[in-house]
């Protein structure tokens, strides 16, 4: 495929996706295919000679679309958002075409340097403590990771290396006495990071607001110290997946300081809200953290993947796993970040272009308006729920998540309700469970979600409840 | 930015990148900027209100291009290729727009199922042993990881978990007796994977062909067993970064079997060549491996990131770090892969679209022609070197890498030569060093590289050697 042919194909593809996104409400949000649906639709092997572009375009509707869960649909209310946007797509076209691999400064200086500046722009937008940002005197700075799960693992491994150095051990061999802490409400990827890192992870019991608090954490730490274990790492969550609850960062941070733990804050979903000043109270105490992470690819209109992570002392990660062969060295080392030391993979795409295009094409006010609108839509859904005496809200609605359930019914009936809602094909939600109470999660996800879509969603919930004769 | 505005902007961007790639030879391959060049070119913070699209387009040349190392230029001969292609870019536009996160089957069935089929198509193209592919009876199967470094880490952590279970230990806590093996020629990311995983890694001395062989590995394993250590993992490399040398997979595989080690094969660069039957002798013994990885994003015209990894027993990775909260569960679990268990991050893009588009738009024959042409261009460069008595080839040219140096000069003079070549701005190469012998690496990288570009490169090398009065 040469340039002129590509131009024609790209126009077709662009027209196709604009049509797809514009008319996405017409599609069933959750597909009805069964496992294994796709293989019979394709030949058993790659073709020997080239296929025609037109056949590929045709196959998108024939093969792919029947099996798509439409995350960008205004009827998608599952998990958390994964918002994309046209400006970010434009940036990815450019990134794909430049096709540089930004593992070191010299491997494409613009790739590193734009990321440095964009992480500062973004940190400023969020009102992060100044010492998380780059500065000529300081050690702070930000980096784009692929996902929050990866960011948590990077923080844990950095903390492990730092602690082992402090103890005088070889920092790169296992130490079975190390123990990490997080809330019983934190994302499953935190527990998984502990598994991957080969350390014990304690799930600290959260309070009645589903928040990890100081006293419970202190008790866990003291019990472990008594057993001869070595506490080294704690993850606080700002906006949990189950219920969008908020750990008390200040209490955690003070204990981390007292007991010498690395304090990582995971704000994967909620972090985007901090571009609005009125939500910043939720990150009170963040100045006590060693590292902070949130996902612009969740709620800030930046196509996946783009997970923003900041360190107060970036030397901690750079020195943790530094391998520096000749074929990756360059003359300017030390003057600029070589981001390969800040992450797990070696290679990296030019992802800061997405941040740049999105921050410029929306502006701070445009992004704030997006967040505020989505939060107001969640409150609209909350009102609908509260007006129906069959239902209850099970925790405060702070951002875009509404957790609710049938009030006088058991888990089984709530499970049945959700199953029927998803089978109905009008909207899609997923459940969660806290302390054996099963509930439904309604999340405002798509950038295109409007008040009418929220009404549609509520109508569908009510209809399915009616059908159960509740 | 709405749909119609996006269509106009996308056309501008597509025209821009076609022009960029078509006329890329006119650009200096390695930029001349100094660290910190970019920040003064941008405002200190994100704009409050939206910028104009036209200003963003203008800023690509003003801000970004002066700092780009042009990996897609036919004059780029550094590292290894990171080939992009128009079909892969089209697939990424689609992937960006669908914007699904494929962590489980239900989160977008097409995303998982196309990946399953594409990994089979790709495995067949390479002639992989049948038990690496998906089958109703078997346990094999492939997955797209982000990078080879990540694939190595996944293999190491899976092996660690498997070994600890065999030993009756809790598989998720550290065990300081575990030891891994790889060649002293393997990529730095293998040693780094050991650091990240908290295990000792032995760098086994390679032979005079820079290959890891059985006897040296056996000696290392036996010495460690004698010390009470527990060998559990060995990485064999097919196409090393320094010199594109090839470990003896059969000898390594037989020892791995005898001593109960997980055998991972890293063919990050060279793997693409196995679509041509004449290169498959280089992977003799692969049937003894537990896992295999190569990067279609390196040499197979698939835009970064797309690192293809296969397991003979995918249960080993699935069971290693399986955390399964309610909000990620679905009814069809067990019938289909849930790829979140096969990788380190939770989230994942719809990357198999790139593989699909590329395999279809080139066909097997088109991809084979690309590899064969690039290998022939490397041999062309080799001939130029051999015709000049000042130079020597330091190891056999098998694929697209030519390792050479000034024959009768010391490392310092060779370093000076490379420095001057890179400062000249006509071509770009990076060096390596084996056993204190410094040499230059010429790699055929860009899809657009032609015989005349190889002549240009050689002319530049000769010119810079002449200028040193050699």
User: To which residue do tokens 């790659």 refer?
Assistant: A46
d(CA A206, CA A217): 9
DSSP per residue, B72-124: TSTTB-SSS-----HHHHHHHHHHHHH----SSSTT-HHHHHHHHHHHHHHHH
**Would you call B176 and A172 a contact, using CB atoms and an 8 Å cutoff?**
no
- The residue of chain B with its CA nearest to that of A446 is B99
Is residue A428 a part of any domain in this protein?
A: no
Is residue A261 a part of any domain in this protein?
A: yes
Is residue B454 a part of any domain in this protein?
A: no
B364-395, pLDDT tens digit by residue? Answer: 999 999 999 999 999 999 999 999 999 999 99
Residue B331: predicted pLDDT: 85
Is residue B447 a part of any domain in this protein?
A: no
Is residue B158 a part of any domain in this protein?
A: yes
Report whether A143 contacts A343 (CB < 8 A): yes
Q: At B441, phi and psi to the nearest 5?
A: -110, 115
d(CA B461, CA B414): 11
Exactly one of B70, B77, B187, B341 is catalytic; name it: B187
Q: Is residue B330 annotated as a catalytic residue, yes or no?
A: no
**Would you call B344 and A96 a contact, using CB atoms and an 8 Å cutoff?**
no
| Greatest Cα pair distance in chain A | 73
CB atoms under 10 Å from CB of A415, counted, come to: 15
Q: Name the strand (E) or helix (H) holding B4.
A: helix B3-22
Q: With bands split at pLDDT 50, 70 and 90, how would you rate the model's confidence at A439?
A: very high
Pick from B49, B117, B198: CB nearest A363:
B49
Catalytic positions of A, written as ranges: 187
Give the Å distances, CA to CA, from A52 to A452, B258, B358, B360. Answer: 42, 50, 12, 8
3-state secondary structure of B462: helix
Is residue A401 a part of any domain in this protein?
A: no
d(CA B158, CA B360): 33
CATH at residue B232: 3.40.640.10
Please tell me the distance in Å from B365's CA to the nearest CA on chain A. Answer: 6
Between residues B330 and B58, which one has the greater pLDDT? B58
Token pair belonging to B124? 């067949």
Q: Please give the tally of structural domains in chain A.
A: 1
Point out the least confidently predicted range of A286-300, B66-80, B167-181, B438-452: B167-181
Residue B171: predicted pLDDT: 58
| pLDDT of A289 higher than 60 | yes
The helix-helix angle for B214-226 and B249-259 (nearest 10°) equals: 20
B219-238, pLDDT tens digit by residue? Answer: 999 999 999 999 999 999 99
Q: pTM for this structure?
A: 0.97
Pick from A64, A92, A97: CB nearest B96:
A92
Chain A hits for B105, CB-CB cut-off 8 Å, are 35
Pick from B122, B148, B323: CB nearest A192:
B323
Is residue B142 a part of any domain in this protein?
A: yes
Token pair belonging to A392? 């209850």
**Would you call A150 and B98 a contact, using CB atoms and an 8 Å cutoff?**
no
Between residues B328 and A68, which one has the greater pLDDT? A68
Q: With bands split at pLDDT 50, 70 and 90, how would you rate the model's confidence at A174?
A: low
ipTM score of complex: 0.97
Q: How many CA atoms within 13 Å lie on the side-chain side of B392?
A: 11
Q: Name the strand (E) or helix (H) holding B213.
A: none
Is residue A64 a part of any domain in this protein?
A: no
CA dihedral angle for residue A203, residue A209, residue A212, residue A216, rounded to 10 degrees: -80
Q: With bands split at pLDDT 50, 70 and 90, how would you rate the model's confidence at A333?
A: confident
| pLDDT of B172 higher than 60 | no
Range of the domain at B140: 100-349
d(CA B206, CA B218): 13
């Amino acid at each position: 495929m040469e340039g002129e042919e590509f131009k024609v194909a790209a126009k077709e593809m662009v027209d196709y996706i604009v049509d797809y996104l514009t008319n996405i409400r017409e599609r069933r949000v959750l597909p009805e295919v069964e496992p294994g649906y796709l293989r019979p639709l394709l030949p058993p092997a790659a073709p020997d000679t080239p296929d025609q572009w037109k056949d590929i375009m045709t196959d998108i509707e024939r093969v792919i679309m029947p099996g798509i869960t439409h995350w960008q649909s205004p009827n998608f209310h599952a998990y958390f958002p994964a918002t994309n946007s046209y400006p970010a797509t434009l940036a990815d076209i450019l990134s794909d075409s430049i096709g540089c691999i930004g593992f070191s400064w010299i491997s494409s200086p613009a790739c590193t340097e734009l990321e440095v500046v964009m992480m500062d722009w973004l940190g400023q937008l969020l009102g992060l403590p100044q010492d998380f940002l780059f500065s000529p005197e300081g050690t702070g700075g930000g980096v784009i990771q692929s996902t929050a799960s990866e960011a948590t693992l990077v923080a844990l491994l950095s903390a492990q290396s730092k602690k082992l150095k402090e103890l005088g051990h070889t920092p790169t061999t296992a130490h079975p006495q190390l123990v990490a802490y997080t809330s019983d409400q934190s994302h499953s990827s935190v527990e998984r990071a502990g598994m991957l890192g080969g350390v014990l992870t304690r799930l600290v019991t959260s309070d009645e607001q589903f928040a990890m608090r100081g006293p419970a954490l202190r008790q866990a730490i003291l019990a472990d110290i008594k057993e001869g274990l070595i506490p080294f790492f704690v993850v606080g969550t700002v906006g949990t997946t189950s219920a969008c609850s908020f750990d008390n960062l200040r209490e955690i941070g003070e204990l981390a300081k007292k007991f010498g733990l690395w304090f990582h804050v995971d704000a994967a979903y909620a972090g985007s809200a901090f571009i609005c000043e009125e939500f910043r109270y939720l990150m009170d105490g963040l100045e006590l953290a060693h590292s902070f992470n949130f996902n612009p690819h969740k709620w800030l209109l930046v196509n996946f993947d783009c997970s923003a992570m900041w360190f107060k002392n970036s030397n901690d990660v750079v020195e943790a796993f530094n391998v520096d062969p000749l074929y990756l060295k360059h003359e300017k080392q030390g003057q600029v970040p070589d981001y390969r030391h800040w992450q797990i993979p070696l290679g990296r795409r030019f992802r800061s272009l997405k941040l740049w295009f999105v921050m410029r094409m929306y502006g701070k006010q445009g992004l704030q308006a997006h967040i505020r609108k989505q939060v107001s839509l969640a409150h609209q859904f909350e009102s609908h729920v509260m007006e129906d005496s069959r239902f209850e809200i099970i925790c405060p609605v702070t951002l875009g998540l509404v957790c609710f359930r049938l009030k006088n019914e058991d888990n089984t009936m709530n499970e049945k309700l959700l199953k029927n809602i998803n089978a109905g094909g009008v909207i899609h939600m997923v459940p969660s469970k806290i302390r054996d109470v099963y509930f439904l999660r309604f999340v405002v996800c798509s950038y295109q979600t409007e008040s009418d879509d929220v009404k549609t969603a509520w109508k569908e919930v009510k209809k399915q409840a009616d059908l159960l004769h509740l």
